Structure 1
Amino acid sequence: MDAVTDPTLLDGTALRTAYRLRELSPVEVTSALIRRIEALEPVLNAFIIVDRAGAVRAAEASAARWARGEPLSALDGVPVTIKDNVLWAGHPMRRGSRTAPETPAGESAPAVERLLAAGAVPLGKTTMPEFGWKGIGDSPLTGITRNPWNTSVTTGGSSAGAAAAAALNLGVVHLGTDGAGSIRIPASFCGVFGIKPSFGRVPAYPPSAFAAVSHLGPLSRTVRDAAVMVQILAGPDPRDITASHAPLPDLLEGLESGIRGLRVAWSPRLGYVERLDPEVEALTAAAARRFEALGAHVEEADPGFADPTGILNPLWWTGAWAALRTIPEDRWGEMDPGFVRAALRGREVTGADFAMALNARGPLHAAMARFHERYDLLLTPTLATPAFETGHDTPPDGRFGDDWIGWSPYSYPFNLSLQPAASVPCGLTAGGLPVGLQIVGPMMREDLVLRAARAFEEAHPWSFIDRPRGT
């Protein structure tokens, strides 16, 4: 069945057209999607909550607005999902942990409020590793979330369920979070688009344990759908003292402008990455060369900063400890042992060490600002490896060590530098697994990142699947 006969395969642009022409209603689409989720979820395990009744109510309200010709926004009637570390009133926020209460939240996060106010139809909450501490898609609470491209390999994380749902279009746009790559990692492994906007562009409340490096943003099958979501989510909120007041340009107005004349740097190893899968390197290098065919001036250049793992680790471990210390010690045995180990390392980080790491972001941010005086965009691989077997935090052959940061050296530097970064699918390995190309832009230039991603998407459309594939 194709998108002509199956409304669950349509993107947001096609849905809006169908709603306007009264060829489909939000109720039809939502009901079909719920049936599809119910059929695929036993294999996929991407949702911790599916709010069937609430989704239908929201779809009915949207259908009435479309019938009057009064949609609230470009997301009115468009099905969305919410990651389970984002508050959604009336639903619990478990964050992948058995220790989290099942009590429904009394309020919604600013991002969720804006989605609801825009008329989006929330289908449910998606899975994540415990407290979002790692780039893998499993947790003690929900178990393993499966990668639709091959159910024996990981989705990546921490926006694991969001990426798996996006890959199968179980919802059109999916709200994720990204503290060290948590949108871009699963986007790369699952063959979808994901963008981490500039720090503070989308307000965060309540702040996560990893608030110093945490961003909210979308995952989707198409760049345009992600741009629509960012446009709606962006803007300050008084509950987030770090939220940016910088004006957001119209992300859709210039989306189709192309990249002719842009200065683009290709950095396959950032100057310090030692281990990179050969297939990933070949596919991402070929993708970088395609930017030349689109009219950009591309040259190989490294941004000029040293490996920032030493900056990330104190911030990351301290965040883990901030979460763990709120949980009674007699319950630690119910938790991901890796998370507990990371948190206990955070317990040993001194206040001075934390402050030094926090301040060390400044020189990295400045280095990238200087770099972007010469280059409009930076391209890198999104990850150093394709997806690997579930049940492991790192590839089991040991080539990247025993820390998940070892195979994701390209993502977290740009959480530390605070700037926007996206992952676009750029091909499949010989084994049929997706690979992502990372596009990094100057601070507050989501419009430029999205424009480049859209140009690449249009010239080199990526592959989609509509059913999970086995081993």
Structure 2
Amino acid sequence: MHKPAAEEEITSLHDLSAVDLTAGYRAKQFSPSEVLEEVIEHVAAWEPHIRALYLFDPDGARAAAKASTDRWQRGEPTGTLDGIPVTIKDNIATKGQPIPLGAASVKLIPAEKDAPPAARLRESGAIIFSKTTMPDYGMLSSGLSSFHPLTRNPWDLAKNPGGSSSGAGAAGAAGYGPLHLGTDIGGSVRLPACWCGLVALKPSFGRVPVDPPYVGRVAGPMTRTVDDAALMMCVLAKPDRRDGMSLPADSSIHWKTLDKSPRKLRIGLMLDAGTGQPLESEVRSVAVNAAKALESAGAVVTEIDGILTREMLDGLDNFFRARMWDDLSKLSPEERGKALPYIHTWAEAGARLSGVDVIRGFNATMAIRAAAAKLFHDLDYVISPVSPVVNFPAEFAAPINDPDKPFEHIAYTVPWNMSENPAISINGGYDAKGFPIGVQIVGRRFDDLGVLGMAKAFEGLRGPQRPWPSPPKK
């Protein structure tokens, strides 16, 4: 147990932010090896209950932490995140390790090289001590998987952590170190952040290079604080030629400069997504209170209508069903049968769609993009719920748990993947039982720094978080 310079109370090393860890290393208050040992000890207490990790490698991490400790003792850290414990989602390639995509139907073939986000983290000196779980093919907002054990939410083990960055969300809430890397194609970092009390940034499309790239797919930080998310972006937001859609370097962006006043900014409060699952009252209250907090700081808040229509959401559903069936159809019946029945049932409907149905579904992305551009013509930011529901059972594939209605809960999140706008989830409050409820802040395309700045402003207005959950007693 150590006391960080910036805090008065003693805090466990595994609970310290990456910003505080770096300050502690620099001041020689503690070492990367000491921090890692506390993380490993904490993992041992939590992991039998939440099952958030895949390819946990304490021995390899110890060697990396020892090398980092030696560098810090010499005063020669290798990069921004030297010695900081980090987890990486299953589907982000790491050299020499298989990429199961959360699915028992996927062949386990070691990756030839690190994907861009993993490479940037490793180059910065981060200690990648484990990968994290995800549901089949990343196509569920759930901790349910045919390959990984069921991942549970540390706030309530009977509840779902969300997904598809399910292990990252659970690990972040449980205190498996400060930094976790997820991916998001419809809400997959923001939804688990919402249900696990974390901060998660879905960057502008192309801001963080990925491999393989795909429509709407991004990688982003999942952390406990906005400052830590910005610190990760310092490392992740660098161009990589493997991603033909990555953005060029922008020297004008200083990720650590998050001072931003809401004063006179035009903010739209979106309580009705336009379609999808009905909004629960406790979620609505948290979003309204977040908007009021920003209004008290000088923002001009106006309630606005959602941009998503039933036709758009159903179109996306059709498109992604067909895309998933294309992957499954290439497998043998035996291999295909290993996937989650929910995923198989959902995707199989894609085989019955016509080419026109599928292209109409894809064209929903263009309609969403146009609607988002029009919306932001007169607004600086949008604030909304992340999820329409407070939580749902751990064993469910989705809040409704019906493969005929798979996207009803992503109506607040998926538009911003398709429109390519940056969007962040940050904890806004709690329900009557103390379960976290996230709020979402969305900005104009490429205004990632502004979105982080608005989240930082709200973080200060919101006040301190409640204590993080503790491991169940034996």
Q: Shorter-chain-normalised TM-score: which range?
A: over 0.9
Superposed CA deviations along residues 241-293 of structure 1, whole A, max 9, x for unmatched, are: 22222626434343023322211110100344561111111121111111112
Check whether the contact 2:46–2:472 (CA below 8 A) recurs between aligned residues: no
CA distance in structure 1 between the partners assigned to 2:303 and 2:251 by the alignment: 30
Superposed CA deviations along residues 145-193 of structure 1, whole A, max 9, x for unmatched, are: 1101000010111000000011122021111011111111111011111
The match for 1:378 is: 382
Establish whether residue 10 from structure 1 lines up as the match of residue 13 from structure 2: no
CA distance in structure 1 between the partners assigned to 2:406 and 2:217 by the alignment: 18
CA distance in structure 2 between the partners assigned to 1:274 and 1:88 by the alignment: 37
Tell me the number of residue pairs that the alignment of Structure 1 and Structure 2 aligns: 465
SS at match of 2:55: strand
Kindly tell me: are residues 468 and 412 of structure 1, through their superposed partners in 2, closer, same or farther at Cα, counting changes over 3 Å? farther
Check whether the contact 1:9–1:169 (CA below 8 A) recurs between aligned residues: yes
The match for 2:360 is: 356
Unaligned runs of 5+ in 1: none
Check whether the contact 2:316–2:365 (CA below 8 A) recurs between aligned residues: no
| Aligned-residue identity in percent | 36
CA distance in structure 1 between the partners assigned to 2:321 and 2:403 by the alignment: 18
TM-score computed with the length of structure 2 as normaliser: 0.93
SS at match of 1:147: coil
Establish whether residue 199 from structure 1 lines up as the match of residue 205 from structure 2: yes
| Root-mean-square deviation over aligned CA pairs | 2.1
The match for 1:346 is: 350
Give the AA of the match of 2:405: D
Superposed CA deviations along residues 401-451 of structure 1, whole A, max 9, x for unmatched, are: 963422232111111111111111011101221111011111111111100
Check whether the contact 2:308–2:415 (CA below 8 A) recurs between aligned residues: no
Kindly tell me: are residues 469 and 377 of structure 1, through their superposed partners in 2, closer, same or farther at Cα, counting changes over 3 Å? farther
Give the AA of the match of 1:427: G
Kindly tell me: are residues 466 and 385 of structure 1, through their superposed partners in 2, closer, same or farther at Cα, counting changes over 3 Å? closer
Establish whether residue 268 from structure 1 lines up as the match of residue 274 from structure 2: no
Give the AA of the match of 2:454: A
2:434 maps to which of 421, 432, 438: 432
CA distance in structure 2 between the partners assigned to 1:464 and 1:199 by the alignment: 34
Alignment of 1:378-457 (within 5 A): 378-395=382-399, 403-457=405-459
Check whether the contact 2:317–2:407 (CA below 8 A) recurs between aligned residues: no
CA distance in structure 1 between the partners assigned to 2:363 and 2:251 by the alignment: 27
Alignment of 1:42-57 (within 5 A): 42-57=48-63
TM-score computed with the length of structure 1 as normaliser: 0.93
Kindly tell me: are residues 141 and 449 of structure 1, through their superposed partners in 2, closer, same or farther at Cα, counting changes over 3 Å? same
Give the AA of the match of 1:280: V
SS at match of 2:77: coil
CA distance in structure 1 between the partners assigned to 2:472 and 2:269 by the alignment: 33
CA distance in structure 1 between the partners assigned to 2:302 and 2:2 by the alignment: 40
Superposed CA deviations along residues 207-256 of structure 1, whole A, max 9, x for unmatched, are: 4xxx2221110111011111111221113322112222262643434302
The match for 1:332 is: 336
Alignment of 1:89-128 (within 5 A): 89-128=95-134
94-103 or 432-441, which deviates more: 94-103
247-256 or 368-377, which deviates more: 247-256
Establish whether residue 31 from structure 1 lines up as the match of residue 33 from structure 2: no
CA distance in structure 2 between the partners assigned to 1:67 and 1:295 by the alignment: 46
CA distance in structure 2 between the partners assigned to 1:151 and 1:35 by the alignment: 20
CA distance in structure 1 between the partners assigned to 2:83 and 2:2 by the alignment: 21
Kindly tell me: are residues 319 and 469 of structure 1, through their superposed partners in 2, closer, same or farther at Cα, counting changes over 3 Å? farther
Check whether the contact 2:233–2:255 (CA below 8 A) recurs between aligned residues: no
Superposed CA deviations along residues 370-427 of structure 1, whole A, max 9, x for unmatched, are: 221211100111010011112123446x8x9963422232111111111111111011
Deviation at 1:65, TM superposition (A): 2.0
Superposed CA deviations along residues 314-371 of structure 1, whole A, max 9, x for unmatched, are: 3311231233133221122222011112221223344444333333322321221222
Check whether the contact 2:190–2:424 (CA below 8 A) recurs between aligned residues: yes
Kindly tell me: are residues 251 and 433 of structure 1, through their superposed partners in 2, closer, same or farther at Cα, counting changes over 3 Å? farther
Establish whether residue 277 from structure 1 lines up as the match of residue 280 from structure 2: yes
CA distance in structure 2 between the partners assigned to 1:384 and 1:343 by the alignment: 24
SS at match of 2:376: helix
Give the AA of the match of 1:213: G
2:370 maps to which of 357, 361, 366: 366
Alignment of 1:302-341 (within 5 A): 302-307=305-310, 308-341=312-345
CA distance in structure 2 between the partners assigned to 1:257 and 1:341 by the alignment: 47
37-46 or 347-356, which deviates more: 347-356
Unaligned runs of 5+ in 2: 4-9
CA distance in structure 1 between the partners assigned to 2:302 and 2:273 by the alignment: 13
Kindly tell me: are residues 76 and 2 of structure 1, through their superposed partners in 2, closer, same or farther at Cα, counting changes over 3 Å? closer
Check whether the contact 1:150–1:468 (CA below 8 A) recurs between aligned residues: no
Check whether the contact 1:212–1:315 (CA below 8 A) recurs between aligned residues: no
SS at match of 1:139: coil
Establish whether residue 180 from structure 1 lines up as the match of residue 182 from structure 2: no
385-394 or 37-46, which deviates more: 385-394
